[in-house]
Structures are given as C-alpha cells and as structure tokens.
Amino acid sequence: MQRKYNQLTSIEKAALLDKLKQADNINELLNILINKFDLKNCKPGTITKTLLANNLVSMILPMLNPHEK
C-alpha cells in the first residue's frame, strides 16, 4: 500500500530530512525526493506551482548561485 507524505510518521520525516541534508549536490537531493515520491504524477495547483517557482527563483537560486549552462 502506497502512502502519501502526510501519512509518514515524524520519525520517517526526520529520516528523510537527514538523508536530504547529506546529499552532495542539488541533483542528488532532488533525486532522493523523485525516487521516494511519485512526483511525476503529482499535479500541483496554481498556488503551489507559483509558491515553488517564486521561492526557487527568489531564494534558492540566489543562495546557490549556480552557473548557467
């Protein structure tokens, strides 16, 4: 039986956080989430997409300051 994120226990969420914190790079960090959850079939609403996009562009990318390809 597959569970949703909100059905994980606090111990499981803490273990996921630890695993994410140990990732060597953003690619590995995102792959942990992609492999753990069915994100390909997850269809976020407009508000969720807007929040995620805005925070990635305004907060995360400036902190990482990656090189453009």
Looking at residue 2, what is its pLDDT?
87
Looking at residue 14, what is its pLDDT?
98
Looking at residue 55, what is its pLDDT?
96
Contact 28, 20 (CB under 8 A): no
Looking at residue 33, what is its pLDDT?
96
Q: Which residues of the chain have pLDDT under 50?
A: none
CB burial of residue 37 (10 Å; 0-12, 13-18, 19+): middle
